[in-house]
Structure 1
Amino acid sequence: MSRVVVMSLPPPGRRAALKQGAAAALFSFLLPLAPVAAQTPCADRLEAFNRAVDAAPDEKAQAGVDALVADPRCGGFVIPAQRRLAAARLARAQKLPAGADDPYYLALVMEADKPAVLWQAAATLAESAFARRSFAEAAKNFDRAIDIVGNETMTPKAPPRETIEGLFTRAAAARLLAVNMGQRLYAAAATRDGKLGGLYAPRVRGVEPRAVPMPITFDYRSANLTEQGRQAAAELARAIREQRPDAVRLVGHTDPRGGPDYNQKLSVERAQAVAAFLKENDVEIPVEPEGVGAREPLALDDMSGLSQEDVYALDRRVEWRRDAP
């Protein structure tokens, strides 16, 4: 499984320090927007915006962005300005003495995320929801972070590969934990081309997720899909129909409770159940189900706040494998 690297501007004391590459990327957004020639129609607006952000990322800075938005001559500066203000708000949240415990913290992060131009803001909201065990909300925001990373206009410089892989893994874990707790998942969001994005994206800035854990649940000790499991399997069917791979591998997993022979049999039966569902839902691509029992637990680098039952929930999964057998 891909190693999880959380690069989401975590609250002080809750997550490991940011790696240097991601910190540098955020710092670059904090720099003033490049000056333009004095005769350029937007020069005065840009200068006023930069001064306002340098002073404090508050209402005056937001007014500077709004002025750029309102001027059709300044369209090319809008997203960079939104990104700079978002980064400033996020950095300000991180500097609060009480960190995530400060009541102002979440408001600042939400303001930073509002224009949806900074993946770190979406990922920070996701981690905050994950810490509160609002796993469905976390999954939604991790998906948005992935999509913002994939948008080269919003994210001109891609984060490191391990960061993108970490976002995929956290998104999958949040979905698995959400269904285990009975939280209703948000429908997977579509990208601008109308296809499923987020966790289902086939490729993000050169990174192809090789194993995608699906939040497909089953009745206790059986291979019968639950209602929510059928909904998740339907999303998987849609993603496969959209991406049309040559073949699909489904790998069933169980938690370690139960004997090895029982777990192996159950993991195969569950993978076969999903394969049958896909065939019934117009997936014409060959599907290869297999099972590995409890031999490949899903490991996260950071298990803080998770119970033993949560860990079992991560182990119980059916993965869509894009790699060769």
Structure 2
Amino acid sequence: MTLGSRLTALPAVMMTPVAALMLATLVVLAPGLALACEDLTNRTQTAYKAGDLATLKDTFAAAEANADCSAETLQWMGKAIVSTVLRSVHEDVSQGGSLQAHETALREARPYGQDWRLEAWLGDIAFERGDFTEAATAFQDALNTLNDEELTPTAPDTAVIEEVYNKAEMARLAAADYVSAPTTRSGEPGGLAAPSYRGFQPAARLVPVEFQFGSTLVTPKGLRALRDLRDALRASGTQSITLVGHTDPVGGMAANDRLSLARAESVAASLRNEGYTGQIYVVGRGERDPLQWVAPLTQHQYHQALRRVEVRQ
């Protein structure tokens, strides 16, 4: 799917919550601000309403240098900057502009505050140009942020969460190297390793335990994925999983069925050797469940992504 066609649907899926959330967040002055910061906070409110990003950044810098401005004040000002950038991007793309044209502005907004929409859009930009490692990182950061009730008090629609999750999985499968899942602020498994996402529960997880062609030997990327899977299962206390093996479409169906089952059994044996004591069921699906891919992949990259094992609970 092209960037243009994805953006056609973006306001209804990824962008619809933007304006309401960011406007509701910042129109009321935070209570308890130090008197010495009153002029700066008033300037922030005025600049935010005017969409004056340059003044917002100047005011933030002045507040950083003012010992009377608290960390809470700086956080509030940072949110104003991030929200202003998101609003500008939303307005332009809604009128037919290119999301890619805003990459620099989105990147420059990162130091001012965390927002799942910012990371999701940077993930979209990286995904479209084929930088799957960066896309997987950004999408997982988006999942972490939207799953944090303090950072995202109002959760996006379940369909939006599912879209971000699916893109994160696809990007991680396509990445040349394994992209580990980040931890949450409390140190729990996050990103694609989180157990659930504000009402969205994945039915299956596309863990990129990849294999060499025609073999049950995992790739170096697959080894790192396998270790992460082991650690996530231990952290979550999961007592039962189903491993589903897959192949690319090269070769006969009967041979691929046997190979996919052998791959699932190989992963099961590795997990048991690493100390996983839960029940493991194995299934081989051969080439029957090809991925619905939207990334700009070569045939070699696509076939490598198809040689995988999924985890179902």
TM over 0.5: yes
In the other structure, the counterpart of 2:28 is 34
In the other structure, the counterpart of 2:288 is 295
Work out the CA distance in 1 between the residues paired with 2:69 and 2:128. 43
Work out the CA distance in 2 between the residues paired with 1:254 and 1:294. 5
Q: Deviations over 1:62-101 (max 9, x none)?
A: 2334556656775445444423321211332452886245
2:240 corresponds to 1:247:
yes
Give the counterpart of 2:220 among 208, 224, 227.
227
Q: Report if the CA contact (8 A) 1:68-1:75 is conserved.
A: no
Task: Count residues in correspondence.
Answer: 306
Q: C-alpha displacement at 1:145, in angstroms?
A: 0.4
In the other structure, the counterpart of 2:310 is 319
TM-score normalised by structure 2 residue count: 0.86
In the other structure, the counterpart of 2:7 is 15
In the other structure, the counterpart of 1:3 is none
Q: C-alpha displacement at 1:190, in angstroms?
A: 1.4
What is the 5 A alignment of 1:158-237?
A: 158-178=155-175, 183-237=176-230
In structure 1, what residue type is equivalent to 2:17? A
In structure 1, what residue type is equivalent to 2:222? G
Q: C-alpha displacement at 1:14, in angstroms?
A: 5.2
RMSD of Structure 2 on Structure 1 (CA): 2.8
Q: Structure 1 38/166 Cα, relative in aligned 2: closer, same or farther at 3 Å?
A: closer
TM-score normalised by structure 1 residue count: 0.83
Q: C-alpha displacement at 1:152, in angstroms?
A: 1.0
Partner SS state of residue 114, structure 1: helix
Q: C-alpha displacement at 1:284, in angstroms?
A: 1.5
In structure 1, what residue type is equivalent to 2:307? R
What is the 5 A alignment of 1:80-229?
A: 80-94=76-90, 95=92, 99-100=98-99, 102=101, 105-178=102-175, 183-229=176-222
Q: C-alpha displacement at 1:142, in angstroms?
A: 0.7
Partner SS state of residue 242, structure 2: strand
Structure with a larger share of its residues in helix: 2
Unaligned runs of 5+ in 2: none
Q: Structure 1 17/294 Cα, relative in aligned 2: closer, same or farther at 3 Å?
A: same
Unaligned runs of 5+ in 1: 1-5
Q: Deviations over 1:7-50 (max 9, x none)?
A: xxx97665233244753421024424214679974654332112
In structure 1, what residue type is equivalent to 2:45? N
Identity of aligned residues (%): 29
Q: Report if the CA contact (8 A) 2:189-2:232 is conserved.
A: yes
In the other structure, the counterpart of 2:58 is 63
Q: Report if the CA contact (8 A) 2:210-2:305 is conserved.
A: no
